[in-house]
Amino acid sequence: MPLLFILLGALGCISGASQSLGKDNADLAPCPNSPNCISSLSEDPRHAMPPLPYLTSGRQSMDRLVQIVQGMERAKIVSTTPTYLHVEFRSAIFGFVDDVEFVLDDAARVIHFRSASRTGWYDFGVNRRRMAQISDQYLDHTYEKESEKK
């Protein structure tokens, strides 16, 4: 049994970045059939969540997302542009990596996202809970009121 935990921990640390990340930072890959992925672009209810609305602008919205993920445990910003954000989240015990991507959709004034485990099949709902937490913090009206005062 201890050997199994060592093997699982090693796999979480050595796995490379997912090949399914947005190809050009403007589109997000669809979720695979595994239940360990959530996307605002998915039509499958098992994987779907609503996109995030813009705040006053795309830039303010992206700044807010960066602020949120910087305050989260085991989060590492991998790439950021004015329209795209890629963050890695590592699990506490084995160091498994989940890739979270956000991309601005100026035409619809929303932020699409995708959160997926890099390895494995099942994530015990971690990606959905993480995106619900990020969404709740993003939509917190306290932030909007504070930013209006500035």
- Please state, in angstroms and rounded to a whole number, the distance separating the CA atoms of residues 39 and 46: 10
Written as six digits, the tokens of 30 are: 């669809």
Question: Would you state the pLDDT for residue 143?
Answer: 55
What fold does the segment set 2-149 form as a domain? TATA-Binding Protein (3.30.310)
Tens of pLDDT, residues 1-26: 444 333 344 343 334 444 445 444 45
- pTM (2 d.p.): 0.79
Domain chopping of the chain, boundaries = 2-149
